[in-house]
Amino acid sequence: MTIEIIFALSLLTVCLGTCLFSIRKLKREMVHLRQRIPPVGWKYLAEGPELQQPLTAEMARLLNPLTTSKSVIIHFSPHCPACELLKTALPAFVEDYPDVGLAVISPVPYQFETRSISVRFFDDRALAIQLALRSTPFAIYLEEDVPMRKGLVNNLEQLRLLVEPLQVSLDMQFK
């Protein structure tokens, strides 16, 4: 009888842990869905470094501790509501993409409300100028120090689409 009770309690504990984990993940997604700012996809802007062209040697050296094979650089500015919204999504982004390095260029330092995450902070306005960044929140997705995609991102969904763009077949485009 004791073994059955221990087994039932163990099973109940595992089920409860799984439910709590699922609720936490669902809550995180719901917060970002409720606060989402249109448009759904990231918006391309001509500013920033040239796409498909490697960064200068000086810029690559400066960002070297950040860059894994894939990385994202995000430019924030103070008093920007979209920047504040995107900042709340960064812990979820880091959790979902652990192999993507993350750097933030922001004149105002900030702390994440959740656990510590690995982000490189730059408070150097000159770096934003060197990268030709004017708009915020502006993100650049790099692969091996080469900018692949860039644009305005307002939320977690848009940041995800910057890293993993949707693949649309030709058949779907003409329906």
Domains, the chain, ranges and CATH?
Answer: 57-163 (3.40.30.10)
Name the band, by pLDDT with cuts 50, 70 and 90, for residue 173: very low
Q: What share of the chain in percent tops pLDDT 90?
A: 1
Say what the pLDDT of residue 92 is.
Answer: 86
State how far the Cα of 106 lies from the Cα of 102, in Å rounded to an integer.
13
pLDDT tens digits along 5-63? 888 888 889 988 898 888 888 877 776 665 554 445 567 677 878 888 888 877 776 76
Return the structure tokens found at 155.
């939320």
CB atoms within 10 A of CB 97: 16
The pLDDT mean for the chain works out to: 77
What is the DSSP secondary-structure string of the chain?
Answer: -HHHHHHHHHHHHHHHHHHHHHHHHHHHHHHHHHT--S-SS-B--S-SSPTTSPPPHHHHHHHTTT-SSEEEEEE--TT-HHHHHHHHHHHHHHHH-TTEEEEEE-SS----SSS----EEE--HHHHHHTT--SSSEEEEEETTEEEEEEE--SHHHHHHHHS-----HHHHT-
User: pTM of the entire structure?
Assistant: 0.67
CB atoms within 10 A of CB 168: 8
CB atoms within 10 A of CB 95: 13
